[in-house]
Copies of this chain bind each other. A is one copy, B any other.
């Protein structure tokens, strides 16, 4: 039985609390948060504290706090040589204080409070300083998800950057599409089937082969005609830079 303590009171901490508590192979024994009000709802299920000095003995401490608090929380832990992990995609493992055995337990997904998530579908990326600790993290990760990956801090950061492109930036392009439609009184729902098709195609076809549109055809007439109609200068610049990047990506091959 893996005794675990969870530190943090944000989105990830809340989601981890819910799914870890359900496991039979892992025992969530305590939750910590600096602001105890944020984890008050955990109290009926297990011990909560806002005092790092009252942390119980455990096999694993999961620090699920914001990126810029990881160093401080881990440095303030009143013990050493125990397994301590953070849950951040962009922070390296050595953001954690050196006095403990370090690791990373990074679930790759956008968590919102409103929407329940199916954790078994969420990829979990693991890193640890030694094989024994990695195995401990695997025990937890495999109990939660069918998709468990080992990777180093550099790879995890690249993955996080790639996630910014395919999730945060993609959503912003959806926003722009929506905004353009609204301004001309076109129901954005017209574009839903196309959006669905584009993301589903990706699961079957490499995005390099799936590319369509005026840029890959080098259709300068349509490109200029689009730029003429776009009034918002920021959108115009985004249109230009992405079009140039597509032309450059496919043009290079002919050299």
Contact = CB atoms under 8 A, between A and B. Distances in A.
Contact of A186 (B155, B185, B211, B245): B155
Contact of A212 (B167, B206, B210, B248): B167
Interface string A177-194: 110110111111011111
Nearest to A245: B234
Q: How large is the interface on A (under 10, 10 to 19, 20 to 34, 35 or more residues)?
A: 35 or more
- Overall SS of chain A's interface: helix
A158 B173 contact: no
Given A90-B222, A157-B229, A202-B192, A164 B214 contact: yes
A19 interface: no
Contacts of A207: 171-172, 174-175, 177-178
Copies per complex of this chain:
2
Given A190-B108, A193-B109, A158 B170 contact: no
Contacts of A162: 176-178, 180-181, 186, 188, 191
Contact of A238 (B177, B213, B245): B245
Contacts of A187: 149
A171 B211 CA distance: 6
24 contacts: A108-B190, A108-B191, A109-B197, A110-B212, A155-B184, A159-B181, A159-B190, A162-B177, A162-B186, A162-B191, A165-B173, A166-B177, A166-B191, A167-B194, A167-B197, A168-B213, A170-B199, A171-B198, A174-B210, A175-B208, A178-B207, A199-B199, A237-B241, A238-B241
